[in-house]
């Protein structure tokens, strides 16, 4: 320890002793007690809409989920297949994202699957557009030993074949990032920057990222800053509690009220969809999630 630093410490201890002897300590406590508290967050009015992922509430008939979602103030249902697309309309709701071509493990990073994926994508896109659905989901696929650079390049090559149809029809294709540690081992698009490189390579507003807060908290953390940084690339959001993928309550680690404000602050006008698996009282938990994001 330097002499100067040692002298400063001695002076500080001596001053504290004088203060205690002179009765200054109670005054110091009074000053601490009078320190202003951090004000409560101000309400905000988001431009985005709210949805719910169908599969998380699959124990309910779709018609019942739609009726309850409308009642509690949601705007849409996520991740429906083509035989389900018209059901939300009967309840004054939209389908926010249509299921796309290919399962999660077998995606656009595989050149041997491109012909099949493009053909199914081109079949689906006109139907999606005709149903008034704004977005269709796609997946990178699993690595299977493939490098990041090769996977990104392959996704760009394959999706470039599909994008002219999406652009012509006005449908946005969204690629979801998933965690490869807990739920989707070996999935390739497991980081925001990975998928953003695909978006940069495609260079079209009709390709966006589906930022899943649950998955990216597991892989990256730093959620609020990441949302601000990548906002121009993000076309859709999913929520769920970490750990466990359950409701957005005090049992999980994320501050979803702060995340909701971060999304709103970017001016996002798309959908934030709740994709958690409820442990009890599904609609009540969904209503609580909606309230957090309502501002």
- For residue 260, give the nearest of 228, 288, 293 by alpha carbon: 293
Residue 118 lies in a domain: yes
Residue the block writes with tokens 């309309």: 89
In a shared domain, residues 24 and 156: no
Count the domains in the chain: 2
Q: Would 208 be classed as within a structural domain?
A: yes
Q: Domain for residue 79, yes or no? A: yes
The reply to whether 99 and 29 lie within a common domain is no
Residues 189 and 158 in one domain: yes
Alpha-carbon span 58 to 31, nearest angstrom: 56
Per-residue pLDDT tens, the chain, 295 aa: give them. Answer: 545 444 544 554 444 444 443 444 444 444 444 555 656 667 889 999 999 999 999 999 999 999 999 999 999 999 999 999 999 999 999 999 999 999 999 999 999 999 999 999 999 999 999 999 999 999 999 999 999 999 999 999 999 999 999 999 999 999 999 999 999 999 999 999 999 999 999 999 999 999 999 999 999 999 999 999 999 999 999 999 999 999 999 999 999 999 999 999 999 999 999 999 999 999 999 999 999 999 9
> What dihedral do alpha carbons 11, 14, 15, 19 form, nearest 10°?
170
For residues 87 and 223, membership in a common domain is answered with yes
Do residues 25 and 79 share a domain? Answer: no
Q: What's the longest Cα–Cα distance across the chain?
A: 85
**Are 89 and 216 within one domain?**
yes
Residue with tokens 């205690």: 20
**Domain with 24 in it:** 3-33
In whole angstroms, how far apart are CA 94 and each of 37, 248, 269?
A: 43, 23, 15
Confirm whether 44 is domain-assigned. Answer: no
**Domain assignment present for 271:** yes
pLDDT of residue 43: 80
Give Cβ neighbours of residue 189 (< 8 Å, ≥ 6 apart): 139, 140, 151, 155, 175, 176, 177, 178, 195, 198
**How confident is the prediction for the chain on average, in pLDDT?**
91
Domain assignment of residue 187, yes or no: yes
Could you tell me if 22 and 102 lie in one domain?
no
Instruction: Spell out the residues 6+ positions from residue 136 whose beta carbon is closer than 8 angstroms to its own.
Output: 97, 98, 99, 100, 121, 124, 125, 128, 166, 171, 172, 173, 174
Sign of CA dihedral 70, 60, 172, 199: positive
- Residue 170 shares a structural domain with residue 194: yes
């Amino acid at each position: 320890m330097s002499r100067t630093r040692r002298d400063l410490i001695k002076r500080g201890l001596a001053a504290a002793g004088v203060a205690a002897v002179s009765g200054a300590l109670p005054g110091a406590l009074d000053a601490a007690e009078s320190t202003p508290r951090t004000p409560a967050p101000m309400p905000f009015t988001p431009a985005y809409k709210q949805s719910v992922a169908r599969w998380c509430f699959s124990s309910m008939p779709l018609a019942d989920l739609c009726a309850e979602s409308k009642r509690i103030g949601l705007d849409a249902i996520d991740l429906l297949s083509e035989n389900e697309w018209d059901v939300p309309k009967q309840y004054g709701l939209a389908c926010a994202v249509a299921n796309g071509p290919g399962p999660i493990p077998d995606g656009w990073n595989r050149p041997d699957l491109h012909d099949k994926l493009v053909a199914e994508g081109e079949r689906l896109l006109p139907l999606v557009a005709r149903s008034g659905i704004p977005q269709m989901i796609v997946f990178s696929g699993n690595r299977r030993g493939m490098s990041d650079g090769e996977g990104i390049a392959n996704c760009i090559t394959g999706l470039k074949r599909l994008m002219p149809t999406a652009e012509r029809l006005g449908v946005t294709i969204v690629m979801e990032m998933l965690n490869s540690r807990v739920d989707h081992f070996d999935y390739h698009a497991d980081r925001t920057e990975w998928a953003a490189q695909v978006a940069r390579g495609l260079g079209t507003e009709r390709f966006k990222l589906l930022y899943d807060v649950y998955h990216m908290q597991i892989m990256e953390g730093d959620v609020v800053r990441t949302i601000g940084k990548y906002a121009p690339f993000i076309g859709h959001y999913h929520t769920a509690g970490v750990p466990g993928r359950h409701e957005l309550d005090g049992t999980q680690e994320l501050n979803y009220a702060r995340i909701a404000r971060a999304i709103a602050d970017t001016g996002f006008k798309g959908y934030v969809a709740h994709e958690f698996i409820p442990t009890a009282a599904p609609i009540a938990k969904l209503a609580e999630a909606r309230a957090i994001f309502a501002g």
